[in-house]
Amino acid sequence: MAGKVAIVAGAGSVGPAGSTIWGNGKATAVLLARQGASVFLLDINDAAMAETKAIIDGEGGTCATHRCDMMVAAEVREMVQACIDRFRRIDVLVNNVGGSAPGDPVAMDEETWDRQIGFNLKTAFLGCKYVLPVMVEQGRGAIVNIASVAGMRNDYLSGRSHVGYSASKAGVIQLSRSVAGTYARKGIRVNTVVPGLMHTPLVEYRLARTVGGNDAQKLIEARNAAVPMGHMGDAWDVAHAVLFLASDEARFITATEIIVDGGSTAFMP
């Protein structure tokens, strides 16, 4: 990745400062920097973003931070220009903004539905919308969107429904395919990483409370047991998949997905 400029959205991580459990965006940003990329870090949490920057700076990497709400077109447009002003080009875009809210179509209110579509799908759309013209002018680029196995399979055995999350993450996969087809002859590749059950900070700092009865260890054990390999993945598994798809080693790969789930979707009903 030496000489490349990468934008990573959602580059901070929830949870306390100094935690050894990282989110997908934080691990991806640090890994890309370790591989030589100049990384433009995006988040709405200034403190979390600053911690990622401190890690990269401490390792001798190159990065800059920019606060950006990826659901607001004007902020995304301004962010892209800020990256150009700072690094003069954009080689990689990693759309890594999202989150789930529970509910089936009857239980979920319209506001939550709209926010799920905005948070998970519109963010990726806006990232593509404003970065693609830069990549077209350069004649090359790689976009990696982060989806979820929830956009491919429905685990009805869990008894939980998150219709907005499932629909929006399925949309991310098809967004990637559609954009990839449109821009393939312009030297731009677009792919998706599809994580399964991952041990990220959200497990301990949100899911443990909302679905785990405030028992994080019990929830972790249950999630581990649900994976054919016997354990969840972590943010580094996602980051390495992103790195490959963003790299020149993946130069003939576009309009497809890498599923990072320990075999889970293959064994779902």
Q: Catalytic pick from 130, 156, 165, 183?
A: 165
Beta strands in 29-161 (DSSP E): 38-43, 62-67, 92-95, 141-146
Candidates 18, 43, 15; CA nearest to 29 is 43
d(CA 232, CA 199): 6
Alpha-helical segments (H) within 88-215: 110-117, 123-138, 163-183, 201-202, 208-210
Structure tokens at 39: 């990384």
Place of tokens 């920019």: 66
- Following DSSP, what letter does each residue of 173-201 receive, concatenated? HHHHHHHHHHHGGGTEEEEEEEE-SB--H
Structure tokens at 191: 């792919």
Q: Is 165 a catalytic residue?
A: yes
* Neighbour count for residue 104 (Cβ, 10 Å): 11
d(CA 160, CA 5): 40
- Catalytic residue numbers read 165
